Structure 1
Amino acid sequence: MNTVIKNVWSFLISMRLMLVLVLLFAVASGVATFIENDHGINTSWALVYSSHWFEAIQVLLGISIIGNIYRYKMYQKKKIPVLIFHVAFLFILVGSGITRYFGYEGVMHIREGAMQNQMISSDAYLQVSAKKDDVEHKLEEVVYISELGGKKFHYSMDIDGKELEVSYKDFIGKAVKTAVDDAGGEPLVSFVISTPQGPDSYFLNGGQFVDAGPLMVYFDKMPINRTPYIRFMHKNNSISFISNVPIQWMRMADRKQKVFQANTEYPLEGGSLYTINGVQLVVKSVLEKGRVKVVDEAESLASGKMKMNTDPLSALIVDVEYDGEHQEVALMGKGKRYKGFAEMFTMGDVELSIEWGSKMLQLPFSLWLRDFVLVKYPGSMSPSSYESHVTLIDEANGVREPRKIYMNNILDYGGFLFFQSSYDKDEQGTILSVNHDPGKWPTYIGYILLGMGFLLTLLSPYSRFGKLARTKYEVTASVPVIAALLMALSYGQPLLAKDTEALIQEVSKINQDHADYYATLLVQARDGRTKPLDTATTNLLNKIAGTSSMFGLNHNQIILGMASRPDAWKELEMIKASHPKLKTLLGMTASQKRFAYVNAFDNHGNYKLASIAEEALRKRPAERGTFEKDVIKVDERVNVAYYVYSGRFMNVFPLEGEMANKWHYPEEALTTFPPKAAAEVRELLRQNAKGLAVGLREGNWDQANAAIDAIKAYQQKYGAAVIPDESITKAELLYNKLQIFERLYPIYLLSGLILLILIFVRIAKPTLNLTKATRIVLVVFVLGFIAHTISLGMRWYISGHAPWSNGYEAMLYISWSIVLAGILFARSSELALATTGLFAGIVLFVAHLSWLDPQITTLVPVLKSYWLTIHVSIITASYGFLGLSTLLGFIVLIFYMMLKDKKKRERISINILEATRISEMSMIVGLFLLTIGNFLGGVWANESWGRYWGWDPKETWALVSILVYVFVVHMRFVPALRSNFLFNAAAVVAYSSIIMTYFGVNYYLSGLHSYASGDPIPVPSWVYYAVSTVIIMIVGASFNRNKLVKITKAK
């Protein structure tokens, strides 16, 4: 028996089982995000997140950690850092368990002037209320149900010695109820009651009733109170009604009307509207023998009985059994986070109410909403912040305190946390997230230990990282990378026609210095940000033509020319188009890259792309081909061009006293401002036009510049409230002029590529000394890194928030972290320097492709937190270190493919060892940063909206990435996986989880962190090429790896 127990224990704590569990955990979590995307959150919770097998994986991982702490003697002094972060994971697991089983959360809705002490739960419950002899018996159980299956249930409750049993029978994801004739059925009335929230449908059999607030509806049941009611009665093979109040009646078909007197019986008619005590009740059908049938929405649509429901309900079908009586009941609802619709009926001597959905939870205190305040960005409808001014009222403890709740500022009282979540559309009510979490502090202790353990591990000479740092091979810092990225970008400039040349010559008379000075005017963007006109003109020209200069003119000259002489500029070929079919439609030749604005319209002024663009936009993204995609892009460019020609981008005129601080373009100002303000604007425009005319005629631009100064003075006079500090404006103009990021990526690429080529040459010629070349490249990198850092700092200063709040900024920061990683490892390996040059250059190049928007924008309220700076900076920096590890792994695979050359085999094998060493060090740092950053994101979430982990797709895939890299760094503990080849192959493949986390979730899954809406965009073709390349590399390298078994054995 002892032997069996010992074997079981050895199996439970074996590294093989741990790695299997890690992979299972990762795969299950990743698959769950796709289940949620396709089938909804209820399905993902029913099948994965709330399942016992998913919990078992986490428990077994905890047991494995405990066992391996003793197995590898982590309690020894030199292993204390490793012990700390492994114990940290145990705290986190315990904390999550406490939260799972003892914590709960929900939502509280309060209107201005109202008091609330209830919240609706996030979890869905099966709620059964059985009332007998004025004694109520209750059953409330959390259930997770989905159309793909889930936890089936069977519950029972004792009612005076008799068992009431409720059990799962079926589930319909998109369900509708309908009344149908049934020869074996019972009398049935189908009706709809109008409420402020919308119409509610009901079906009543004999003995049932509906409580509709100001109205009670009964069927063959005596009223139980004096509330106004309507009572349906079945007798003499017909159904009639009676009410205790007068009823206004109207037949829907012919609009016939009458008034039914109180306490008088009348026949009940279907297709009629009954207005009772102000409540409108529409009787849809009256069946003497019928039944309620719950059907799938698709079935109902196919039969033509109903229209598409934009917000369909689900149906949980349960069997109810009591005292020998059996009944099937359909419970309608949406599951988690939504209250269900109670089904009320009688079985024997018991009145039953059964509901599936979130339940109302009572709080021991109340909140009174005194005021809800929504602040918007100037001139915009976008919210800058919103906050709830509440009074906390706890009568039992004599507490009555005013509090404010807003994003990233919580109310903490009585073990409950309140967070600003959302608000009503009319801005007269607030929606608060409520959280009660006893597992918070064990989890936070785990986070603190995690950070301490990781830091001490990196500093400890006895850790794996410390050992790798001390390891040196025969050829120090000579790991080459064979990764040739040859990009040939050539843009030919077509010859200009004579009339075009004449126009360009005329426009170029507008002095560039004057155009640039004109662009120092401040303009208000659509998102409310006030910025230099120079920034706006750059963005506009890039959108229209895909470049920042044309015809020998800069962006300011072109955009101002388009606005001042639209008729002439509409004749110039400026708008980019690429698809051959689209070029033909627009009258372009195959060699032309751009077309004139006028060519987008036919001789009658009809827009050529109108129907085609509309058709392309109607198609799901996955169905759009290259033609449709280019049509949509060109359609947007044409609209932006019109936006410029009409002058609507020139929002330079504020209006005195305007509450929203909105600025207006000239035409709008002249037509909507009060007469005195409009006259002032008209005079400014006249001075500007006069100055421009003098400049063109005489070449003297002083008067034109003075007109610009006059507009600036007008802006300061009436728009000072939203004008940024002068130093910020100057910084933005300098930032635009320097264009550091655009200039850096070729420097990074070329310097890295040159060093790689030299290292490759040294493989053939070992005597080649690269010390001088390496130092030159290092100096270039350090200077580039300094410029990179300064430019990031400038963007931070200009925007007022950390420069990693969108896709473009994150790419800038990732490339910065890559260069930092290369500089840190430069002394250990030339490979680190060379590969980071390539990788950083590629990332910066990708950042400046057309699909990433480089504009500096305002922040949504939830991102206005110092946690944004901490969480995003750490987690994004990890991508750089993990990316370096991936690129090194790719290089090692190339070296394995080069092992056929026997003369160079020994040198290559040493390079493999050195590359693997740097790769593993970089991966360890990246994994530590990724883990810390992810859990700090949990702290941000918990302090901002009350939930540090909610299985949102983004955070789930971040966890998947952590698990994937945990697997890779632990592979060396399993003999069958302990090889440099497998490690490097895994390093290459593992980065796919990062790509999915960063890009895939944003565009293919729905969630809090995602940009996806509706159907996902199709997978880009380059993904297939990349995957194919990796597979070919791994397969090709595997053929040669056995030739270096002795040299490349695991250290």
Structure 2
Amino acid sequence: MKKVLTSLISMPFMGLLLMAYATAMAVATFMENDYGSTVTRYIIYNSWWFELIQLGLVINMIGNVFVYKLFQKQKLSILIFHLAFIIILLGAATTRYFGSEGIMHIREGNTTNQFISAKSYLQIWEAENEDKMIFDQELFISPYIKNKFSKNVKSNGKSVSIVLNKVIPNAERNIIEANDGHPVIDIMLAGQNGLKGHIIEDKVSVQLNGLEFYLNSDRGDSTVNFLIEKGKLYVHSPFETKSLSMQGKTDTILLPNIKHEIQPRKLYDINDTKFIIKGFSEKAKINYVMGSIKNGISSNTLIFEVSSGSEIKKLGLVYYKSQIGQTALVVINGIKLKLSYGAKEMNLPFALKLRSFQLERYPGSQSPSSFASEITLIDKSRNINENHRIFMNNVLEHEGFRFYQSSYDKDEKGTILSVNNDKAGTVITYIGYIFLALGLLWSLINKNSFFAELSRRTSEIRVKRNKMASIITILLLFISQEVSSQEFGKKYYDDDHAKAFGELLIQDQGGRIKPMSTFSNEILRKITRKEEWEGFNANQVVLGIMFNQEYWKDVKMIKVGHPDLMKKLQVQGKYVSFNDLVRKDLGGYLLQKDVEKAFAKSVGKRDKYDKELIAVDEKLNIFYQVYSWQNLRIFPEPGDINKAWLTPVNAKLMKDSIGRVFASTVFTNYFKEVSIAWSTHEWSKSTAILIEIKTFQKNHAAEILPSERKVKIEIQYLSLNIFKRIFKYYGLVGFVLLIILFIGILNPKLKLNIVTKVAAGLLGILFLFHTYGLGLRWYISGHAPFSNGYESMIYIGWAVMLAGFIFMKKSSITLAATAILASITLMVANLSWMNPEITNLVPVLKSYWLTIHVSVITASYGFLALGALIGLLSLITMIFVTKKNGERLNLTISELTNVNHMALIIGLYLLTIGTFLGAVWANESWGRYWGWDPKETWALISIIVYSFVVHTRFIPFLNNKFSFNFLSLIGFSSILMTYFGVNYYLSGLHSYAQGDPVPIPTFVYYSIAAILFVSLTAFIRNLKNQKQLE
């Protein structure tokens, strides 16, 4: 028994549990991508063996508290954050077994005290005993798993067996005439997503759009009751029934509380619920066959075998996710039972009334800026009648229930709220988060911690290494200058006028108002993948396309990335002109049929050629929109409720007569003056017209215009192009410094203090520019610069350099490594598939919790990336160790390994705190602090991976420099998966991908091969050196 307990709390067993935990979660993220989150939860996250792993980790941590005496005063910081994980897991268990969540839908003016459960339940009632519930149990069913369910229930002293036979996805239901059948109606209900079919069986009610529909009811209450009599169908409703034409106009009004005959395949409306009777029968059975699953699974039909006495019947229940289960009736052995499977209505001890729903959009756009629900909380037991406002990141909490703004109806007259009842689980989890942050931060400053010990070790190693060197100073520094491109044809374009044109404001499709310089830059980059063209800047190019169309139609500037497409067009090089694609002599647009074929294919079946066709088509359309002025939204329409701006083409639609005259003529006049100015080189009149347009914008849209200072700063930000410029210099200085430092390691007589200080100074200047660029982007956008892939990459580059400066005193090589890594990061940010445009935020991203979460977790990537690079440098250094230089290089390896360990500890702490800050954001935004979304799951996997790496010093066979550096290198693959893999290859709340994932670049495979080669070589050399030492 003692041996078993010792094994359970041993560090090797901890490592085994951590890797099993991480592997299970990794598999789950890919499973979710293919089969959905509910299946993944059932098979993995909610499985007994997954919870057993978590329990094993808890036992292991508790055991190690005593093994390593973490309760000692000098180790209290370590004790606190290890106990925090136990508290967090306890909170998760509380949420898992005692929490509940669901969805509440309220229309304006309505009051409700019910919400729909997130979980699905199988419910059984006795139909002839006032619908007495005899079975109510949570049940998970999916066509992707082996579904097993059987239950015996008692009714009227008789036993009824109910066995699940099979599950049919997207089942199509047919009514089949049968002598032993029962009355059935096939009804099509018109909803926001089109028509949806429902079956109503004899003596069974169905809730549809808030109305209760019944067939052959004898209840006489407020239900809508259908009756089948002598082959005809009738309706008896407490509400007025409208007979509509297919155009939606009222033909006939049927009075309430009177039986009226209705006709199949005719549109009716009862209390704003529209429906069509597809068919009905007095004696029928329902047959289910599998439908198409090409576009996914929208419903499942459960086929049950019901038996009692000698009778056996089949019963089908249709299930739609997050909808109340439809009810079906079975009559067997003289017993009538009603069955339902799906979400169920949950009652609240109070009610909410929706006074109004409010949706704000970005000016001139359909993109939501924010949406909110004006709610009245009604609690009669506490005599409460209070008004509240629920919006994204602002919740209503009452009696342990929390209500979050989730979504809204398409007609914007109803709200959808997420409901969460998990006060105990949330409180326990938040206590765990507080302990975690306290323990981790305390560990960094605790002089008795392993982190502090690493710092002391590194300083001692550096002193030893410096003593081995003689005093010889060498300085190597060179400065590189870029050769400016030849100016071509610039005399035809006036720089001052192009600058004035660039200051004109334009509204983009997302509603953001920005300088024309930004718009021009985006246009040129999309068409050419460049930021200038043959000496012309972006403003000059756009001016040329707009006003010198015939010339620019012949300019080969549309980038084509597929050689077969160039062959088809019979054009040399990598660029084509507008006229190469649109040939009047050959019938117009040459790619029209090919593009239509490409669009007709499903996304998954499009090859590289198809994708390039679509990309070229988009570039051609952008070019066309510029030269035809169709995307130049520069005229604000006075009094427009959406604050939309108009183009010169549709300015004639402006309602304001004075504004209409100005907007309809001024751009034509501008065209004339620009045409004259190109010949006379006199641009004053053209510039004066731009001033008139700017004045018009100020007079009619002052409340939404950015300040002049912000406009100038945005133009400055664009012209500086900081992030594209500095990555070259980061790489140059870092690479030169790294080579010099390695020369110094191999030749200890060289003293490189001056070189290091000069390089550090240059990198410090670049870092200040980097920081300045981030600040400019933050100011211009109005939000922290990490809301998309491009922004997070430039921020990671900044965090990498920050890490380099933090560890510079411990190791100069670290600074060189971080400079190279920052250069690579910024280079990736400037690749063609990264979008550097500044855009508006979606409502859920407007949260200070998000800002803190992303800044902390993204900063961790910088330290972990540094660890990976130091790991690689350490492995490379191991390859060059010989008897002659062994003592000196081993000191360098020890120094790098210690710095690596420190970087990983800081990175792991930041990653852990950042991940759980994200959980707080999620809980404050939509009421769930952990939902196993692929992004958060891979963040947790990364935490597990790096926890394993930093604990390898406790595992005897991994407690060596090679293992630690190798694991720190390959461990970074979990971060790459968290950042790139989830964003572009998996589905989830954090996914940026649209359609097919981005192809894996070829250099990735070469990089993996190079890393494996270096690692294997270092392993062999290290093994050989260890034997020599023995």
TM-score under structure 2 length normalisation: 0.90
Cα distance between partner residues in 2 of 1:152 and 1:89: 35
Q: Cα gap change, 1:1021/1:192 in structure 2, threshold over 3 Å: closer, same or farther?
A: farther
Q: Give the equivalent residue in structure 2 for 1:36.
A: 32
Q: Give the equivalent residue in structure 2 for 1:75.
A: 71
Cα distance between partner residues in 2 of 1:705 and 1:477: 69
The alignment partner of 1:149 has SS state of coil
Q: Give the equivalent residue in structure 1 for 2:299.
A: 313
In the TM superposition, what whole-angstrom CA distance separates every residue of 1:549-603 from its partner, at most 9, and x where no partner exists?
12222111111111111122111121112322211222312xx232211111222
Q: Give the equivalent residue in structure 1 for 2:373.
A: 388
The alignment partner of 2:951 has SS state of helix
- Answer yes or no: is 1:595 the counterpart of 2:588: no
Per-residue deviation, 1:206: 7.7
Q: Cα gap change, 1:410/1:489 in structure 2, threshold over 3 Å: closer, same or farther?
A: farther
Q: Give the equivalent residue in structure 1 for 2:646.
A: 664
Per-residue deviation, 1:341: 1.9
In the TM superposition, what whole-angstrom CA distance separates every residue of 1:989-1042 from its partner, at most 9, and x where no partner exists?
211111111111112222111123455444443333333333333333322221
Per-residue deviation, 1:174: 4.0
CA RMSD of aligned residues (A): 3.6
The alignment partner of 1:776 has SS state of helix
Aligned partners of 2:304 and 2:314 also within 8 Å? yes
Q: Cα gap change, 1:283/1:694 in structure 2, threshold over 3 Å: closer, same or farther?
A: closer
Aligned partners of 1:972 and 1:978 also within 8 Å? yes
Q: Give the equivalent residue in structure 1 for 2:17.
A: 21
Q: How does 1:881-1030 map to 2 (within 5 A)?
A: 881-899=863-881, 901-1030=882-1011
Per-residue deviation, 1:519: 0.9
Aligned partners of 2:121 and 2:341 also within 8 Å? yes
- Answer yes or no: is 1:819 the counterpart of 2:771: no
Q: Cα gap change, 1:209/1:151 in structure 2, threshold over 3 Å: closer, same or farther?
A: closer
Per-residue deviation, 1:350: 4.1
Q: 2:410 aligns with which of 425, 438, 443?
A: 425
Amino acid paired to 1:551 = E
Per-residue deviation, 1:403: 0.9
Per-residue deviation, 1:346: 2.9
Q: Cα gap change, 1:77/1:228 in structure 2, threshold over 3 Å: closer, same or farther?
A: closer
Per-residue deviation, 1:762: 2.7
Q: Cα gap change, 1:209/1:686 in structure 2, threshold over 3 Å: closer, same or farther?
A: closer
Gaps of 5+ in 1: 234-238, 253-259, 302-307, 480-487, 496-500
Cα distance between partner residues in 2 of 1:1015 and 1:87: 43
Cα distance between partner residues in 1 of 2:464 and 2:764: 18
Q: How does 1:573-588 map to 2 (within 5 A)?
A: 573-588=556-571
Q: Give the equivalent residue in structure 2 for 1:511.
A: 494
Q: 2:727 aligns with which of 745, 756, 768?
A: 745
TM-score under structure 1 length normalisation: 0.88
Cα distance between partner residues in 2 of 1:477 and 1:360: 73
Q: Cα gap change, 1:163/1:916 in structure 2, threshold over 3 Å: closer, same or farther?
A: farther
Q: 2:384 aligns with which of 399, 422, 426?
A: 399
Q: 1:728 aligns with which of 710, 717, 732?
A: 710
Q: Cα gap change, 1:578/1:210 in structure 2, threshold over 3 Å: closer, same or farther?
A: closer
Q: Give the equivalent residue in structure 2 for 1:137.
A: 133
- Answer yes or no: is 1:784 the counterpart of 2:766: yes
Q: 1:841 aligns with which of 823, 841, 855?
A: 823
Q: Give the equivalent residue in structure 1 for 2:55.
A: 59
Q: Give the equivalent residue in structure 2 for 1:527.
A: 510
Q: Cα gap change, 1:989/1:156 in structure 2, threshold over 3 Å: closer, same or farther?
A: farther
Q: Give the equivalent residue in structure 2 for 1:297.
A: 291
Aligned partners of 1:478 and 1:759 also within 8 Å? no
Cα distance between partner residues in 2 of 1:81 and 1:400: 47
The alignment partner of 1:547 has SS state of coil
Q: How does 1:843-882 map to 2 (within 5 A)?
A: 843-882=825-864
- Answer yes or no: is 1:96 the counterpart of 2:82: no
Q: Give the equivalent residue in structure 2 for 1:484.
A: none
Q: Give the equivalent residue in structure 1 for 2:250.
A: none
Cα distance between partner residues in 2 of 1:803 and 1:739: 15
Q: Give the equivalent residue in structure 2 for 1:217.
A: 215
Amino acid paired to 1:399 = I
In the TM superposition, what whole-angstrom CA distance separates every residue of 1:439-491 from its partner, at most 9, and x where no partner exists?
11111111111111111111112212111111136456989xxxxxxxx9999
Per-residue deviation, 1:349: 5.1
Amino acid paired to 1:705 = T
Aligned partners of 2:505 and 2:514 also within 8 Å? yes
Percent of residue pairs bearing the same amino acid type: 39
Aligned partners of 1:46 and 1:149 also within 8 Å? no
Amino acid paired to 1:22 = L
Q: 2:80 aligns with which of 81, 84, 91?
A: 84
In the TM superposition, what whole-angstrom CA distance separates every residue of 1:137-180 from its partner, at most 9, and x where no partner exists?
34322222323326744555555766555454433444333456
Q: Cα gap change, 1:727/1:242 in structure 2, threshold over 3 Å: closer, same or farther?
A: closer
Cα distance between partner residues in 2 of 1:97 and 1:1030: 41
The alignment partner of 2:750 has SS state of coil
Q: Cα gap change, 1:623/1:209 in structure 2, threshold over 3 Å: closer, same or farther?
A: closer
Amino acid paired to 1:383 = P
Q: How does 1:745-784 map to 2 (within 5 A)?
A: 745-784=727-766
Q: Give the equivalent residue in structure 2 for 1:454.
A: 440
In the TM superposition, what whole-angstrom CA distance separates every residue of 1:667-706 from its partner, at most 9, and x where no partner exists?
2214545442222235543664565456445544333333
Q: Cα gap change, 1:361/1:33 in structure 2, threshold over 3 Å: closer, same or farther?
A: same
Q: 1:572 aligns with which of 547, 550, 555?
A: 555
- Answer yes or no: is 1:194 the counterpart of 2:188: yes
Aligned partners of 1:117 and 1:364 also within 8 Å? yes
In the TM superposition, what whole-angstrom CA distance separates every residue of 1:735-774 from its partner, at most 9, and x where no partner exists?
1121111111001101110011112323442212221111
Q: 1:469 aligns with which of 449, 455, 470?
A: 455
In the TM superposition, what whole-angstrom CA distance separates every residue of 1:901-937 from its partner, at most 9, and x where no partner exists?
5434443333222221111111111111011001001
Q: Cα gap change, 1:194/1:527 in structure 2, threshold over 3 Å: closer, same or farther?
A: same
- Answer yes or no: is 1:339 the counterpart of 2:336: no
Aligned partners of 1:621 and 1:1016 also within 8 Å? no
Q: How does 1:228-377 map to 2 (within 5 A)?
A: 229-231=225-227, 240=231, 282=277, 284=279, 291-297=285-291, 312-320=298-306, 327-335=313-321, 337-348=322-333, 350-377=335-362
Amino acid paired to 2:186 = V
Q: Give the equivalent residue in structure 2 for 1:257.
A: none
Q: Give the equivalent residue in structure 1 for 2:474.
A: none
Cα distance between partner residues in 1 of 2:643 and 2:134: 56
- Answer yes or no: is 1:176 the counterpart of 2:172: yes
Aligned partners of 1:36 and 1:43 also within 8 Å? yes
Aligned partners of 2:204 and 2:328 also within 8 Å? no
Per-residue deviation, 1:359: 1.0
Cα distance between partner residues in 2 of 1:122 and 1:1048: 64
Q: Cα gap change, 1:716/1:946 in structure 2, threshold over 3 Å: closer, same or farther?
A: same
Per-residue deviation, 1:622: 4.9
Cα distance between partner residues in 2 of 1:582 and 1:878: 43
Q: Cα gap change, 1:512/1:275 in structure 2, threshold over 3 Å: closer, same or farther?
A: closer
Cα distance between partner residues in 1 of 2:537 and 2:630: 20
Amino acid paired to 1:406 = F
Per-residue deviation, 1:267: 15
Q: Cα gap change, 1:650/1:133 in structure 2, threshold over 3 Å: closer, same or farther?
A: closer
Q: Give the equivalent residue in structure 1 for 2:249.
A: none
- Answer yes or no: is 1:829 the counterpart of 2:811: yes
Amino acid paired to 1:981 = F
Q: Cα gap change, 1:830/1:529 in structure 2, threshold over 3 Å: closer, same or farther?
A: same
The alignment partner of 2:378 has SS state of strand
Q: Cα gap change, 1:110/1:428 in structure 2, threshold over 3 Å: closer, same or farther?
A: same
The alignment partner of 1:47 has SS state of helix
The farther-off stretch of 813-822 and 741-750 is 741-750
